[in-house]
């Protein structure tokens, strides 16, 4: 039954919706944590350390963090695979492109696929920059996340990559949240406006919240 559901378009859309909501919940918490950088290095570094001790003594050091990482990786993979397979199925269903674009298709809808690619590439860069330190500028300092963030956003390309990715994220959430509501059956004609309003608000708050960090570094508010 599980395989039958996965093979159907409805099943893949459901996987996309659930995995998307998991990632959205993480993004809200992650953004709130990022904003602690405006309270200074001690608060931000303490928060980063707390993440590694989360769940102690029941869980060992960093176990909770690794559980979160595994769940997120599974959500990202499930989301990406579902999106790719649905896209291929859509292409096979209409081998010739439409002569005219659908009149009421929003910009966010038309760029969902490219936005997903941009976000996928950004996730890889973000991990290599601030988690492993592989591509980090000026030498990665383990245990000093505050300084590492400042190093990244003190470079023009670090800020540009991050801001472009966050703009793509905003568009992705704006369309994706509303689509998830429709897929999971909680949307309706009477609730349509409410869900679109929530989607717009979430997209705006998360985009502004994430972009505030590189802007804060570039303007000297965070230093």
CA-wise closest residue to 168 among 126, 91, 88, 107: 107
Q: Is the pLDDT of residue 2 over 70?
A: no
Q: Read out DSSP for 68-136?
A: HHHHHHHHHHHHHHHHHHHHHHHHHH-SS--SS--TT--HHHHTHHHHHHHHHHHHHHHHHHHTS-TT-
Write out pLDDT tens, residues 107-146. Answer: 555 677 888 889 999 999 999 999 999 999 888 998 899 9
- For the chain, the average pLDDT equals 88
Q: How far is residue 17's CA from residue 175's CA, in Å, rounded to a whole number? A: 11
Answer whether 0.85 is exceeded by the pTM.
Answer: yes
Q: Give the pLDDT mean for 206-213.
A: 98
Write out pLDDT tens, residues 35-65. Answer: 999 999 999 999 999 999 999 999 999 999 9
High-pLDDT (> 90) share of the chain, %: 65
Q: Exposed, middle or buried: residue 162 (CB in 10 Å: 0-12, 13-18, 19+)?
A: buried
């Amino acid at each position: 039954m599980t395989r039958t559901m996965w093979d159907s378009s409805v099943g893949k859309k459901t996987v996309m919706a659930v995995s998307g909501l998991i990632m959205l919940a993480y993004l809200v918490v992650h953004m709130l944590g990022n904003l602690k950088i405006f309270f200074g290095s001690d608060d931000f570094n303490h928060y980063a350390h707390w993440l590694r001790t989360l769940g102690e003594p029941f869980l060992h050091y960093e176990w909770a963090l690794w559980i979160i990482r595994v769940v997120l990786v599974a959500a990202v993979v499930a989301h990406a695979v579902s999106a790719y397979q649905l896209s291929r199925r859509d292409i096979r269903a209409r081998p010739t492109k439409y002569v005219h674009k659908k009149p009421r298709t929003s910009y966010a809808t038309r760029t969902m696929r490219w936005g997903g690619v941009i976000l996928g590439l950004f996730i890889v860069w973000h991990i290599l920059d601030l988690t492993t330190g592989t591509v980090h500028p000026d030498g990665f300092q383990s245990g000093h996340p505050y300084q590492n963030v400042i190093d990244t956003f003190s470079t023009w390309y670090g800020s540009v990559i991050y801001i472009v990715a966050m703009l793509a994220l905003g568009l992705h959430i704006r369309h994706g949240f509303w689509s998830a509501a429709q897929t999971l059956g909680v949307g309706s004609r009477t609730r349509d406006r409410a869900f679109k309003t929530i989607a717009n608000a979430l997209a705006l708050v998360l985009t502004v919240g994430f972009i505030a960090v590189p802007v804060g570094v570039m303007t000297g508010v965070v230093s």
